[in-house]
Structure 1
Amino acid sequence: MSLRTKLLSILDVVLRVPPIFAMDSILVSGFSAFHNSNSQRIINLKAPNAPENLTADQYISIKRNITYTLVEHDDYSVLAELTDFLGWILIYSHVFLISFAMFLLPTKHLISVYVWLSSIGVIVWSYICNEEYVRFVNSLSQTTIAFELLSLNFNVIWRFLGNYLLQVFLAILFCFASSSPQKILPKRMVGLCFIIPTVLSLLPRIPNMILMFGPIAAASVAFLHVCLNVIYSAHSIFQSLYGGIIWSRTFMRHYGLYTLLENQWTRLHVPQVLRVFWLTRLTEQAVLLIADSTHEHYLDTGVISLPFDTQHLWITSKQLMMRGCETVIAVLGMTSVVSSICYQIGSLMQSFLLVEDPEDRSIGTVSAILFFILALQTGLTGMEPEKRLLRLYRNLCLVSTAILHFIHNMVSPLLFSLSASRNMSINRHGRALLVCLFLVVFPIWFLSHLWSYHPVSTWLLAVSAFSVEVIIKVVMSLLIYGLFMIDAYRSTIWEQLDDYVYYIKATGSTVEFIIGIFLFFNGAWILLFESGGTIRALMMCVHAYFNIWLQAKSEATEEQLRKFDDVCAICYQELNTARITRCNHYFHGVCLRKWLYVQDICPLCHETLYAITEDEANDNEAEHDHMD
C-alpha cells in the first residue's frame, strides 16, 4: 500500500468519526432525557385510592384499568409537554438519521458536506464577532468611530482593526471553502459582505437600527449563498445516491447480501472508525474527569496539582469503563477495541509458535461478536453504572475463556505435527510446551481468583466449566504428544500406540461431553429463571455443539466416507475410518501418521502438510547426527 493510499484511508477514517460522535451524543443526552422526563411524568400522576409516595415502577405495576388524575398539571399543560416531548423526539431522530446518512456517504460527498458545515461555521463566527463589535460601537454614545480613530484612541483603533482583519480573514476562508460556480453568486462579492458592519460604523450619524441590522444582513447573504450552493449541488448528490442504490441492488443480485455488506464494511472502514471514536471518546472523558478532580482538589487545598495516586487512578479507570459502554455506539467502539486486542494476541501467539495460519487470526472477529452479543443480551447499556461495570467485568471473563480455547486450537495441531513428523527442533517443541504450560497454569489461577471473590452463580459456573474444559483439552493433547514422541524414539513399531491414543481421546471426549451436559443444564436454568437468559443459553448451547461435540468428532463421518467411496491412497485398503487433511484428502489415521514420519507433503497432491524452516532442518540434521 502506497503512502498516498494510507493517507487517504486515514483521512476517510477521520472524516467519519464526527457523525459517530453526533449519534452517540444523541443517545447519551437526548433519548436518556426523554426517558427521565417520561418517568417523572408517571411520578406526577396519582391513582385514586392509591397510597402516597409511590415510585414510577410501583405505578406501572398497578392495574391498567385505574383512572389517573393529574396532581400538578392541567390538561393544557400536559398536552403542551407532550407536544414538546414529541417535537424533541422528532428533532433528535432527524439529527440521528442525518448523522447516520453522513457516515454512509462516499468520501467525495462527505468532504462536500464538511465544506458546507465549515462555511456555516465561518458565517456564525463572523456574525458573533460583528455583533460584539456593533455593541462596542453603540456604547460610544457621545462620539463616533471615525472621530475616535482620528483622535488616535488606541483602544478603538485596536477594536476596529481587529474586527476588520478578522472579517477579511473569515471572508477569505469562506471564499476558499465555498465551491459554488460564479454564476450563482460571485464568491468575492459574498466575502465582501463580511466587512459590512465594520464599514457602516465609519459612516457619520448612521442610525443604530441600521448598524444593528448590519451583522444580520452580512450573515444572511452568506447563508443564502450556502443554501444556493446546496440546492445547486443537490441534483448531483441525489443522482449519485440513486446510482449507488442501483449499484447496490445489482451487486447484491450477483454476489449476495453478505458480499455487499462486506464490501461496504471495508469501504467505510467501520472497525477503524469505531476504534478511533471510542479511544477519542475515552480520552475526552479522561481529560474531563482529571480536570474535575483537579478543580475539587484546588477547592479543598488551594493547590493546583494533578491527582496521580493509585486510588484516584483506580476510581478514574472504573468511571471510564462505566462510561465507555453507556450507549450502543460506545459498546460498538469498545467491541472494536476488544477485537483489535484479541487479534494482536492471536498474532503474538502465532509469532511465538512460529506458525502462519490466517484462520487462527479470526480470533479477533469471533471475540468481537461474542463480546457484542453478551453486551446486548445482558442489557449492558441500560444498567446502573456500578452494575454495568460488574457486568462488563463478567463479560470480559467469558471472552477471556474463549481466547484460551483459540490458543489451544493453535497449539494442539502444532504439537501433533511436531511429534508425528519427527521434527526434533528443541526451539519449536519448547515454545509449544510453554504455551501449554500457560494454558494449564493461567486457568487454575483464574478460577482460584474468581472463586475467592465471587459468590456461586450461573455465570461463575459457566466460566469455570469453560476453563476446566481448556485444561482437559491441553492435558489430552500433551498425553497424545508424549505418546507420539515415545514412538518417534522407538526402533520398532509400537502396535498398541493407536489403542492408547484412542483411550486418551475417548476419555477426553467423555469428560468434555459431561461438561457439555452441565453447560446445557446451566443454560436451561438461565433461560428459565434469569432475566435476559435466552441469548446466553443459546450461546452456551452453540459453544457446546461447536467446541465440544464437533471437536469430539475429529475423524471423518460415515456420510463423508460414503460420499468418498474409495480406498486409502497409502495402503489401498477400505476406509472404515479416515483422517481428512487440510487439502481435503482421506487416509487412514495410522497410515497418514506413518507417512508423516518420512514426508511432510500430501501423498496425492503433494501440498505441504507441515513445513519447517531451513534453520530447523539444520537443527534436526545436527541432532540426528549427534544421535548416530
Structure 2
Amino acid sequence: MSFRTKLLDFVYVILRVPPLFIIDELLRIGFEFGLPQGDNNYSNSSFEVNDAGASVIGEELAYTMPDYPDLVQYDDQFYKAILVVAFKYILSCLGIVTAVCVFMLWTKHLVVVYTYLISVGIVFVSFWTNVNTMKIMISAMTANETASGMGTQVYTSILEDLLSLDVGRLLDPNGYAFIVIQNYAMQCMLAFIFSYVYLGPRYPIIQKCLLVSFMAPSILAILPLPVSILHHAPVFAALLPLALVKFILWYSALTVIQTVCGCYQRACNFVSNFGLSALVEREWVRLNVPVVLRTFWLLRVTEHAVSLLSDYFSVSDDQQAQHNLLAFTAMFSITKSLLVSGCETLTAVLGMTSIVSYICHYVGNFFQWILLTEDDDDRSIGTVSAILFYILALQTGLTGLDPEKRFIRLCRNFCLLFTALLHFVHNIVNPLLMSLSASHNPSLHRHVRALAVCTFLILFPASLLIYLWSQHATSTWLLAVSAFSIEVIVKVVVSLMIYSLFLVDAYRSSFWEKLDDYVYYIRAFGNTVEFCFGIFLFFNGAWILIFESGGAIRAVMMCIHAYFNIWCEARAGWSVFMKRRTAVNKINSLPEANTEQLHRLDDVCAICYQEMRSAKITRCNHFFHGVCLRKWLYVQDHCPLCHDILYKVEMETPKDSFRIGDMVDSSNNEASTSATRNNSDETEEPIYQNSSPVTLEQQSANVTR
C-alpha cells in the first residue's frame, strides 16, 4: 500500500471522528435532568419534612384555603421544570440523530458538509475578530473624549497619524494602528479562504463584494467616524457572507432531502434482497467503524492526558521535587483517571471496546504464532472479546457509576475478559494437540510449543486464583472468576489426557480397542464439569440479579445462558449418551467371533485395516472390530461392505432406534465401499482422530456467560 493511499485512508477516518465527539458530548451533558431552582427555594423547602415541618403541615391541613395559591405556584414550577427537561432531551436526541446521519454519509457528501461548516465558521470568526477590534477602537475613542475634557489628548485617528507621518505611533506594537493592521491581515486571509471553500455562486461581482465585506470594519477603523458606526460595522460586514451561507443551505435543502430518501430506498432494497445482516456488514466495512472508534477514543484520552500532565508539571519547584518522589503514584492516578473518563459515556465505551478488540486480536495472533497455526476461525477472537466486553459494560451499568466504583468495576470486567481470553486460547491449542497426537507428527518443537501454552493455561489461572482469594473477600464476582479459571484448567487437563492417550496409541504395535471408551469417559468428565459450572454460574448470576444489581440486560443474558449453556448442553449430552448406549446394545447383540473363525478368516478389519484379534460377526457374515463397527453405527446402520442392514429395528419403537435419518446418501455408501478396497495405512489416522465423533458436540465452551 502506497503512502498516498495510507494518507487518504487516515483522512477518511479523521473525517468521521467529529460526529462521535458531538454524540459523546451530548451524552455527557445533554441528559442531566436537573430541575431549575426557583425563587421560592423549591428544591430545599418542598421535600424537607421534620418535626417543625410536621406541625406546619398540620396547620396547612386546618387552613387550606389561604395556602392554595402556594400550591398553584408549586405546580407552575414543576411543569416548568418538566418542560425544560423535555426540551433539553428533545434537543439532545435531535443532535445525536443528526450526528449519526453525518457519520454515515458517503465521503464525498461528508466533504460537502465539512466545507459548508467551515464556511459558516469563517463568517463567525471574522465577526468575532471585527467585534474585538472595534471594541478596542471604541474604548480608545471614549478614553480620548474623557481626556479631552481634562485638557489632554490621548487618541487620534489612524488616518490623522498617516497624514501627519507619525511613524512612531503607527509602528508602536502597543498602539491601535498595530491592532488594526493585525485585523486587516486576518480578514484578508479569512476572505480568501471563504472565497475558496464556500459552495455558492462565484460571480466576479460577488467575489469582489466578499473581499470588501470582510475588510470593511478594518477600513472604517482607520477613519475618524462616530462610535455608533464602528459599533455596528461588524454586523453589517457579516451580512453578505452570512446571506450566501443561508442561500446555499436553502438552495440545497431539496437535494439533501432527495439524497436521504434515495439512500433510504436503496437500503430497503438491499435489505429485501440480501437481508439486514448483510446491510449492517456492508456499512460496517464501508464506514470502517473499528478504526474510527479507536481513533476517537485515542484522541479523547490524549486530550485528557495532556490536560492532566499539564496540571502535574505546572507545580512549583518544591512541589515538583515532592512529586518526583511520588512519580509512580502520580502516574497511577493519571492512568486511573484516564480509564475512568474513557468509559463515562456509551460512545467512550464503544471506543474502549474497539481498543480491547484490537489488543485481543493481537493476543490471539501471538498465540497462533507460538503454535505455528493459521486457522481463520480463530481470528474472530477480537470480535468475540469486543462483544463480551461491551455486554459486561452494559450489564454492570459502567457509565452510570461513580468514578471510584467505575474503576473497580472496570478492573473486574477486565479480569473476567482475561479469563474468557484463556478459554479462547484453549480453543486454539486443543485442535492442535489432537492433530499432533493423532497424525504421528514427528516435529518435536511443535509438541513443545503446544505443551508450553497448556502449561501457561494451567499455571496462570491458578496463580490468579491464589492472588485474588488472598487479596479480596468472597463475593459473587470472585466466585464467577474462580469458576471460569477452574473450568479452563479442567479443559486443559482433559485435552492433555486425551493427547497422552493418543500418543500412547500411536506407539503401540497392536490395536487398542478400549481407546475410544477411555476418550469418551474423559470427555464426558470434562463436559460434566463444564455443565456443573454452567449451573453454578446461573445461580450466581441469579443472586446478583435479585440481591445486588438487577437490570433488563442482565436478565436477558441470564435467559440466554440458561438456554444455550444449560438446556442445550444437557439435551446434547443426553442425546450423545443415549446414542452411545444404543450403539453398544446393538454391538453386544451381535455374536463374537472365536479364535478358530479369526484364524480361518486371516484378514484385517475392513474399516481400520488393523489385524483382528477379536471381532463381531454381522448378519451378513462380515467380520469387524467391535469398536470400529460401533463408530460406523454412529453414521448409518448398513454394512460397510454389502450395504445390508446390520441391525433390524422394530417399527413399534422408532424413538429408540439409532439410525440417524439418511445422513449418508448412496454416493457416500459407494465411497465407503470403494474405500474398503484400498488397503492404505493413511485411513488409520482419521479413525483415531475422530475416535468419538458424536462427543465432539460437547466441545462448545461458551465463556460469554
TM-score over 0.5 for the alignment? Answer: yes
Q: Which residue does the alignment assign to 1:62?
A: none
242-251 vs 173-182, which moves further? 173-182
Q: CA deviation at 1:572?
A: 7.7
Quote the offset at 1:277 in angstroms.
0.9
Which of 129, 132, 151 aligns to 2:166? It is: 151
| Residue 455 in structure 1 maps to residue 473 in structure 2 | yes
| Cα deviation digits, residues 298-345 of structure 1 (max 9, x gap) | 397488988871111111111111111111111111111111111111
Aligned partner (choices 367, 392, 403) of residue 374 of structure 1: 392
Q: Which secondary structure state, in structure 2, belongs to the residue aligned with residue 504 of structure 1?
A: helix
Mapped to 2, the partners of 1:376 and 1:487 lie a distance apart of: 49
Tell me the alpha carbon deviations over residues 437-486 of structure 1, each in whole angstroms, 9 at most, x when there is no partner.
11000110111111112211222111111111111110011011111112
Q: Which residue of 1 aligns with 2:650?
A: none
Correspondence for 2:444:
426
Q: In structure 2, the residue corresponding to 1:262 is in which secondary structure? A: helix
Q: Counterparts of 1:424 and 1:572 in 2: how far apart (Å)?
A: 38
Distance 1:374 1:302 in 2: 40
1:198 to 218, 227, 232: 218
Q: In the TM superposition, what are the counterparts of 1:410-449 in structure 2 within 5 Å?
A: 410-449=428-467
1:541 aligns with 2:568: no
Distance in 2 (CA, whole Å) between partners of 1:26 and 1:518 is: 41
Is residue 2:178 matched to residue 1:178? no
* Structure 2 partner of 1:258: 277
Query: Cα–Cα, structure 1 residues 37 and 392, in superposed 2: closer, same or farther, change >3 Å?
Result: farther
Quote the offset at 1:598 in angstroms. Answer: 6.0
Residue 258 of structure 2 is aligned to residue 239 of structure 1? yes
What is the letter of the counterpart of residue 336 of structure 2? K
The offset of 1:167, in angstroms, is: 0.9
> Which residue does the alignment assign to 2:584?
none
Q: Is the 8 A contact 1:26 1:92 kept in 2?
A: yes
The number of equivalent residue pairs is: 580
Q: Work out which of the residue numbers 315, 321, 324 in structure 1 matches 2:339.
A: 321
1:176-325 aligned within 5 A: 176-182=196-202, 186-203=206-223, 205-295=224-314, 297-298=315-316, 301=319, 309-325=327-343
Deviations 1:577-601 (A, max 9, x none): 99x99xxx9999xx9x97465689x
The answer on whether the counterparts of 1:556 and 1:577 sit within 8 Å (CA) in structure 2 is no
Q: Distance in 2 between matches of 1:553 and 1:6?
A: 55
Residue of structure 2 in register with 1:331 after alignment: 349
Unmatched 5+ stretches in structure 1? 55-66, 604-628
Which SS does the other structure have where 1:528 is aligned?
A: helix
Deviation (angstroms), 1:235: 2.5
Larger of the two Rg values belongs to structure: 2
Residue in structure 2 matched with residue 165 of structure 1 by the alignment: 185
**1:281 CA displacement:** 0.9
- Given that residues 185 and 225 in structure 1 are in contact (C-alpha distance below 8 angstroms), is that contact kept between their aligned partners in structure 2? no
Deviation digits for residues 274-297 of structure 1 (CA, Å, limit 9, x no counterpart): 1111111111111112222334x3
Give the corresponding residue for 2:402: 384
Amino acid aligned to 1:244: C
Structure 1 residues 251 and 187: CA distance shift in structure 2, 3 A:
farther
CA contact (8 A) 2:297 2:348 kept: yes
In structure 2, distance between residues paired with 1:157 and 1:321:
50
Partner of 1:528: 546
Q: Which residue of structure 2 aligns with residue 109 of structure 1?
A: 109
AA in 1 matched with 2:415: C
Alpha-carbon contact 1:46-1:68 (below 8 Å) kept: no
1:333-372 superposed matches below 5 A: 333-372=351-390
- Greater mean alpha carbon deviation, residues 480-489 or residues 177-186: 177-186
Partners in 2 of 1:568 and 1:394 — Cα distance? 57
Distance 1:42 1:420 in 2: 78
| Structure 2: gaps (5+ residues) | 55-66, 145-154, 581-631, 648-657, 691-705
Does the 8 Å contact 1:274/1:336 carry over to 2?
yes
Counterpart mapping for 1:502-513 below 5 A: 502-513=520-531
CA contact (8 A) 1:526 1:537 kept: no
Q: What are the superposed Cα offsets for residues 236-262 of structure 1, whole Å, 9 maximum, x if unpaired?
A: 222211110110010000011111111
| 2:496 is equivalent to residue 496 of structure 1 | no
Post-superposition shift, 1:136?
3.0
1:165-199: CA deviation from partner (whole Å, max 9, x where unpaired): 21111111111111223269834422331001112
Name the CA distance, whole Å, in 2 between partners of 1:471 and 1:170.
67
In 2, the alpha carbon distance for the partners of 1:526 and 1:289 equals 36
Among 393, 399, 411, the residue aligned to 2:417: 399
| Other structure's SS at 1:492 match | coil
Root-mean-square deviation (CA, aligned residues, Å) is: 4.0
TM value normalised by structure 2: 0.73
Cα 1:185/1:270, change in 2 over 3 Å: farther
Q: Decide whether aligned partners of structure 1 residues 305 and 402 sit closer, same or farther in structure 2, where only a CA change above 3 A counts.
A: closer
SS in 1 for 2:184: helix
Shift of 1:553: 8.6
Cα shift readout 1:496-538 (whole Å, capped 9, x = no counterpart): 2222222222222232232233223323333333322524534
Matched residues in 1 for 2:422 and 2:575: separation?
20
- Aligned match of 1:475: 493
Opposite residue 121 of structure 1, the aligned amino acid is G
Q: Is 2:134 the partner of 1:134?
A: yes
